[in-house]
Structure 1
Amino acid sequence: MTQLKDYRQFYINGQWVNPAVARDLEVIDPSTEQAVAVISLGDQVDTDAAVAAAKAAFPAWAATAPETRLAYVEKILEIYNRRAQDMADAISLEMGAPQDMSLADQFDCGVYHIENFIEAFKNFEFVRPLKDGNDDSMVAWEPVGVVAAITPWNWPMNQVTLKVIPAILAGDTVVLKPSEIAPLSSIVWTEIMHEAGLPAGVYNMVNGDGLGVGTQLSVHPDVAMVSFTGSTRAGIAITKASADTVKKVVLELGGKGANLVFADADADAVARGVRHCFYNSGQSCNAPTRMLVERSFYDKAVEIAKQVAEETTVDVAFKEGAHIGPVISKLQWDKIQDLIQAGIDEGATLVAGGTGLPEHLSEGYFVRPTVFANVTNEMGIARNEIFGPVLAIIPFDTEEEAVAVANDTIYGLTNYVQTSDLERRRRLSRLLQAGMVEMNGKSRARGAAFGGVKASGRAREGGVYGLEEFMDSKFISGWSENS
């Protein structure tokens, strides 16, 4: 039997420490279904120790000059870039992102976010006039305190960097609880933080599950803020658990993105939308999983989607190429299979894919790239966040109908519009209920925040908005000499 890598220790008060009680959990490689490492799940004693370290470190850290905090983050970025391959390998192993994608996107999104925070922070005014020309009334931005950062498995470094970096720049101290089923990248991240030489207690990391460490952080009286990314169900539970201690709770949750494709869209619009839906094996909260297509173009769109699905290859993570990898776990695979079968049972037309493993694979949590046509928005495949490479294509006749269908969901993270009509794009961007709207395949600009509305949560992560998320605003009068 292969010796499992031992990652049982936590990082508390500047040191790697053993758990108070051994509660082992094996980390499974989703490409092979084999255990590759072992971690320990934290207990109340571990959580308390991490929070106590963060609480003790907070006054001195909050009082540091912004330039000092910036220098630490620039050092973190330097080390992060140096550990690129280590990070990409960890992500491929723990959650199945193919190695090329893991390096180019899973790792690199961390670089992108850290650079954007550095740029935003250099121009950030911690004390500024409330209004131009009025130096008597001021707004001061101040750190919240101890931040519990609870992060998911699907884009590990995307979420870790979007929480840890702005928190420490703001002057907060942090306890990170990464996903227990994909913890390896956060261990590499913690090694990076240790090498950067942050003062003891500013950054801490405790592995654990949601019911354990996640809940313990949510109810802890010395935690001032919980920043959570994950399922809507878990976000609701964290909000309720945090209520008694009146924490600041910031949630980035699920999605069921609608992609509105009009007949005058550019030639690549449909194929681009399908590829986006399947990317990261469909495990992205902002995936455009509902494609709404104008009826005159509908049959052609279905034909294109079928071709793209059939051309999308699926294979193990540690293989070069532009394929998609497995989904994270057996639990997730089973859920996706049930939802695909439900779509068939509900009467949607299975255009590509379907249940079961791809024919060339006999192990691993691989899902066949699946496309359904003739879907109605009442079907389960149109309402549930499947979190797998499954696309539902829905026809519409009018712009008003498309908007109504797009907004008929509990979620509101990202919607997409494909049309050459400028006025229509502008009109739809305001009518669609979402925190983000991307049009004609153009990504949001650097510094734009990521976040949604409704059951997608209302976080605003990234850039200057993400910095302010980890601070409290204070309004002050009598600031000027003449007051």
Structure 2
Amino acid sequence: MTSEHSDSWTLLSGPLGPDVGGSRRPGESARPVENPADLEIIATVGDATADVADEAVAVARAAQPAWGRKTMAERSDVLRGVIAEVERHSEELAAIVVAEQGKTITEARGEIAGVRSFFDFAASRHRYRDLGEVIAPTADRRMLTVTEEPLGVVAAITPWNFPAAIFARKVAPALMAGNAIVLKPSEITPLSALALTELCHRAGVPVGIVNVVPGDGLTVGDRLAKHPGVDLVTMTGSTRAGKQVLQAASTSLTPVSLELGGKAPFIVFADADLDAAVDEAVTARFQNCGQVCTCNERTFVHASIAHVFEAKLRARVDALVVGDPRSEHSQMGPKVSAAELEKVDALVQSAIDAGARVATGGARLPSAGDGHWYAPTVLTDVRDDMDIMTREIFGPVLPVTTFDRYDEVIARANASAFGLTSYVFTTDFATAMNATRDLEFGEVYVNRTGPEEVQGFHTGWKESGMGGEDGEHGYRRYVRSRTTYLDFTRRVED
């Protein structure tokens, strides 16, 4: 299984399939990787089998103890080597992301910068971290310590919307903590993970510490989640898939960290800076063609400013440049796949049938080419009971509704099964602070949008997940504690 771009993509030369123990192999069941902008098959990748997943866990388990015994400074130096390789190959990595995922080259470069940031935070913040504590004992000549230890083997399941950044988000802290990792990328976007794994090898990450097993979620993902040799399953993806992973992992009582879907409310109060709110609403909805779990999924605008807001919003959306994602001028690329395009279009058509009004867009864009193109869309006259307001859209569609009172909009925003990200725009301090307290979401952005920052904590409430990513709180998912009781009352004779 080889890449059609092997001449320019040096990181993907040779067979494309599972990378286990530092050796890439052809795999089985050749799976085509499609460019969503023009439907070109850019590579074929061989899937791993359940047996290969087992082998990867065994290889990781054998390699981990030596890596775990290295000092934090030694592991940090290796991660610094990964950063250097990422910087050296940043344009190639960005081109791979564009080709397999469809985001614009500008966004892809930002994603690769994110890869660097995740490794940089892990390497720098944790190089000289406290590794435990000494607790006061109950008697003289005794000692009680609680120390931080690696988990062992981490299984990571990553999505297609940020195939490079989320690789780094999971691999960097896992490695810094002294773990080995087996990662299953999305079937749609396996190339970024394979390329980044190659860079890990070149940077000196020991053989067997980073392994990639592309393949079907029901085969490879399920096997990893159930595997008794795995010490943590960390997964980013849909809520449906997260529930399946949680159920599978329960058979071995394996700890699970899940970062799942969202239905972010974007609340614009009457006193908000209107131009800033409009700009941020567009950014938070249409980045990566709306395929971000933190996207602005429900826009609530105070009725007194709704008319002006909607007019400004439509002008900004109509000005978006949708086109070839390789172009420096494009601001939005295609949807990632035909299935995702169909899902978004069905949600829009269902909303229209139920009475929503199309302010702009609302249809596919065949004029953009043969790929999975959808027009940037704004819907008004939406109701809270419509699917477009309850199900995650994950596409370039922005539904707008109005509200009259603070307590009303907070209740409507919270009336969701999801609880990941929320946005508040107001110039009133009391309104901002009360909303931060009252919104039932793991993240609240006030007068700004994302992306989330590596030193923060990206965590969801309700069906948006359990556990979380980033910062000190996210890092703690990759370690466990050991309590040691010492008694040294027996004197040593001189």
**Superposition TM-score tier, normalisation by shorter sequence:** over 0.9
CA distance in 1, matches of 2:80, 2:314: 45
Does structure 1 residue 109 correspond to structure 2 residue 119?
no
What is the letter of the counterpart of residue 447 of structure 2?
Answer: N
1:478, distance to aligned residue in structure 2 (A): 5.3
1:130, distance to aligned residue in structure 2 (A): 5.8
CA distance in 1, matches of 2:160, 2:354: 31
Residue 195 of structure 1 aligns with which residue?
A: 202
Percent of aligned pairs with the same residue?
A: 33
What is the letter of the counterpart of residue 115 of structure 2?
Answer: G
1:7, distance to aligned residue in structure 2 (A): 4.4
Deviates further, 381-390 or 437-446: 437-446
CA distance in 2, matches of 1:130, 1:426: 37
Is the 8 Å Cα contact of residues 259 and 460 (structure 2) preserved in structure 1?
A: yes
CA distance in 2, matches of 1:3, 1:252: 31
1:137, distance to aligned residue in structure 2 (A): 4.7
Does structure 1 residue 118 correspond to structure 2 residue 123?
yes
For 1:31-430, what aligned pairs fall within 5 Å after superposition? 31-103=37-109, 105-129=110-134, 137-266=144-273, 267-357=275-365, 360-430=367-437
Question: Helix, strand or coil for the counterpart of 2:399?
Answer: strand
Aligned residues: 475
CA distance in 2, matches of 1:362, 1:86: 24
Deviates further, 458-467 or 364-373: 458-467
CA distance in 2, matches of 1:334, 1:382: 17
CA distance in 1, matches of 2:103, 2:257: 27
Residue 457 of structure 1 aligns with which residue?
A: 465
Is the 8 Å Cα contact of residues 76 and 192 (structure 1) preserved in structure 2?
A: yes
Question: Helix, strand or coil for the counterpart of 1:268?
Answer: helix
Deviates further, 328-337 or 449-458: 449-458
Is the 8 Å Cα contact of residues 134 and 143 (structure 2) preserved in structure 1?
A: yes
1:180, distance to aligned residue in structure 2 (A): 1.5
Is the 8 Å Cα contact of residues 324 and 330 (structure 2) preserved in structure 1?
A: no
1:330, distance to aligned residue in structure 2 (A): 0.5
Residue 9 of structure 2 aligns with which residue?
A: none
Is the 8 Å Cα contact of residues 270 and 304 (structure 2) preserved in structure 1?
A: yes
Cα–Cα, structure 1 residues 136 and 424, in superposed 2: closer, same or farther, change >3 Å?
Answer: farther
Cα deviations across residues 6-30 of structure 1 (Å, max 9, x unaligned)? Answer: 64332111222342xx210000000
Question: Helix, strand or coil for the counterpart of 1:388?
Answer: coil
The gaps in structure 1 that reach 5 residues or longer are none
Cα–Cα, structure 1 residues 180 and 7, in superposed 2: closer, same or farther, change >3 Å?
Answer: farther
1:314, distance to aligned residue in structure 2 (A): 1.0
Is the 8 Å Cα contact of residues 365 and 373 (structure 2) preserved in structure 1?
A: yes
CA RMSD, aligned part only? 2.1
Cα–Cα, structure 1 residues 320 and 481, in superposed 2: closer, same or farther, change >3 Å?
Answer: farther
CA distance in 1, matches of 2:371, 2:191: 19
1:475, distance to aligned residue in structure 2 (A): 4.1
The gaps in structure 2 that reach 5 residues or longer are 6-13
CA distance in 1, matches of 2:103, 2:369: 18
CA distance in 1, matches of 2:437, 2:296: 18
Is the 8 Å Cα contact of residues 413 and 453 (structure 1) preserved in structure 2?
A: yes
Is the 8 Å Cα contact of residues 38 and 369 (structure 2) preserved in structure 1?
A: no
What is the letter of the counterpart of residue 199 of structure 1?
Answer: P
CA distance in 1, matches of 2:102, 2:430: 41
Is the 8 Å Cα contact of residues 271 and 304 (structure 1) preserved in structure 2?
A: no
Cα deviations across residues 395-425 of structure 1 (Å, max 9, x unaligned)? Answer: 1111111111111111111101100011211
What is the letter of the counterpart of residue 127 of structure 1?
Answer: G
1:136, distance to aligned residue in structure 2 (A): 5.2
CA distance in 2, matches of 1:478, 1:427: 49
Alignment partner for residue 15 of structure 1, among 23, 33, 41?
A: 23
What is the letter of the counterpart of residue 186 of structure 2?
Answer: S
Is the 8 Å Cα contact of residues 309 and 353 (structure 1) preserved in structure 2?
A: no
Is the 8 Å Cα contact of residues 17 and 25 (structure 2) preserved in structure 1?
A: yes
Question: Helix, strand or coil for the counterpart of 1:25?
Answer: strand
What is the letter of the counterpart of residue 397 of structure 2?
Answer: V
Deviates further, 439-448 or 335-344: 439-448
CA distance in 1, matches of 2:420, 2:265: 10
CA distance in 2, matches of 1:102, 1:356: 23
Is the 8 Å Cα contact of residues 350 and 372 (structure 1) preserved in structure 2?
A: yes
What is the letter of the counterpart of residue 214 of structure 1?
Answer: G
Is the 8 Å Cα contact of residues 329 and 365 (structure 1) preserved in structure 2?
A: yes
Question: Helix, strand or coil for the counterpart of 1:122?
Answer: coil
CA distance in 2, matches of 1:74, 1:448: 21
Is the 8 Å Cα contact of residues 219 and 244 (structure 1) preserved in structure 2?
A: yes
What is the letter of the counterpart of residue 344 of structure 2?
Answer: I
What is the letter of the counterpart of residue 277 of structure 1?
Answer: R
CA distance in 1, matches of 2:482, 2:438: 33
Deviates further, 167-176 or 117-126: 117-126
Question: Helix, strand or coil for the counterpart of 1:251?
Answer: strand
